[in-house]
Amino acid sequence: MFCENCGKQIPDDAAFCTHCGAKQSGGSAPSQTVSTIPKPQPVRASPPTQPVGATAGVDLITMGQYLIMFLITAIPIAGIVMLFIWGFGSETGPNKKNFARAYLIMMAIAIALGILISIVMGAIMASIMGSMYYY
């Protein structure tokens, strides 16, 4: 006998399909009622259609491109200008755009910490110099 719902072969005296759990109306049903509801089979996720690491339509940055990006960012003013172009330009791929934005955020954090440390050190030096006696 075949299941009325999924079409798979099941035993002739089955009241429920062993594959999908659908109740079978045809055939010779057992004389006793089934008191338990069959458990549905877990749905397995389909395998990815693309290999891991491959993205459709996204240009991945190679090792050489990363090295060139690091060298360009080492140039004092041109590096900052290029980071803004890469981070907010419309012709830049998402990998380079995210790299540039993260680099700009790290630079802003470093500048803020540098200013904060300079202020603290200046306050310490001012308090030391204020407490000195000159003869």
pLDDT tens digits for 61-118?
A: 889 988 999 999 999 999 999 999 999 988 888 889 999 999 999 999 999 999 999 9
In a domain, 49, yes or no: no
In a domain, 84, yes or no: yes
The values of phi and psi at residue 133, to 5°, are -110, 135
Domain membership of residue 17 (yes or no) is yes
Q: Is there a domain that residue 58 lies in?
A: no
Spell out the alpha helix ranges (H) of the chain: 63-73, 76-88, 94-130
Q: Is 71 within the bounds of a domain?
A: yes
At 123 the pLDDT is: 95
40 belongs to a structural domain: no
pTM above 0.75, yes or no: no
Examine the domain organization and report whether 24 and 76 are in the same domain: no
**Does residue 16 sit in helix, strand or coil?**
strand
Distances, alpha carbon 78 to alpha carbons 15, 37, 67, 71, 106, in Å: 76, 70, 16, 11, 17
pLDDT digits (tens, 9 = 90+) for 14-42: 888 887 888 888 654 444 455 566 667 77
Asked if 20 and 67 sit in the same domain, the reply is: no
Question: What range does the domain containing 107 cover?
Answer: 63-130
Do 67 and 22 reside in the same domain of the chain?
A: no
| Total number of domains constituting the chain | 2
